[in-house]
Structure 1
Amino acid sequence: MTATRLYGTAVARARDRLHPRLTHRSAWTAQLGALPVIEGTVIRLQVEHLPSGATPEPVWLWWSGPDATTVQVDRLWQAFLRRSSTPSVCSSRPWAGPARRSALLKPQTAGPG
């Protein structure tokens, strides 16, 4: 258990040497026969509350490192929370509203040469 500023108490539990079930060959078109087994670590992250006030659900994270240490697991879930709380990396930001027209029509400046 770790206390966080935005999410209250966070609890992370990890299991290593697990692998996702590959069901599509899209990335493995050249692979003949059975699809490969890719071992990794699964992390279940539960936080006390969300900044938005919504009810938090557990989040499952998968990392391709098969032998994660406690320090690595802590870094991974903390990086996830840090990234998910930064609006600039979110692909959908309904709270930001549409882009301002003036920003879209900003004149281009010519470079040297």
Structure 2
Amino acid sequence: MTHRSAWVDAAKVLPVIEGTVFRLEVEHLPSGATPKPVWLWWSGVDATPADVDRLWQTFLRRFDIEHTFRLFKQTLGWTCPKIRTP
């Protein structure tokens, strides 16, 4: 951790949080752009290959859902407030 803002009042030694870090890479993107790795952190330890498969697929579904809601908000105009008198 490079910042202590959430831990300002804590002891000088920051806590160690165990987990597993995954680095996901794709060979190519449909757009032809250069793919960048995606880093995911999971609070579990001793991940199996089945865990890795489940986690990247879960991330992909979450990414799709978040972008769907973002699109809906833009379409419905939820991102730009309209001030009205009562």
TM-score (norm: length of structure 1): 0.51
Q: Deviation of residue 99 (structure 1)? A: 4.1
Distance 1:69 1:30, change over 3 A: farther
Matched, 1:48 2:27: yes
What's the CA shift string for 1:78-112, capped at 9, x where partnerless?
Answer: 1122232x2x513xx6x88x5466xx88xxxxxxx
2:25 counterpart SS class: strand
Identity %: 63
How far apart are the structure 2 equivalents of 1:51 and 1:81?
A: 16
What's the CA shift string for 1:53-85, capped at 9, x where partnerless?
Answer: 42222222121222222222111111122232x
Count of matched residue pairs: 79
Greater percentage in helix: 2
Question: What stretches of structure 2 of length at least 5 have no aligned partner?
Answer: none
Could you say what the CA RMSD is over the residues aligned between the two structures, in angstroms? 3.3
Q: 1:58 aligns with which of 7, 15, 37?
A: 37
Q: 1:82 aligns with which of 48, 58, 61?
A: 61
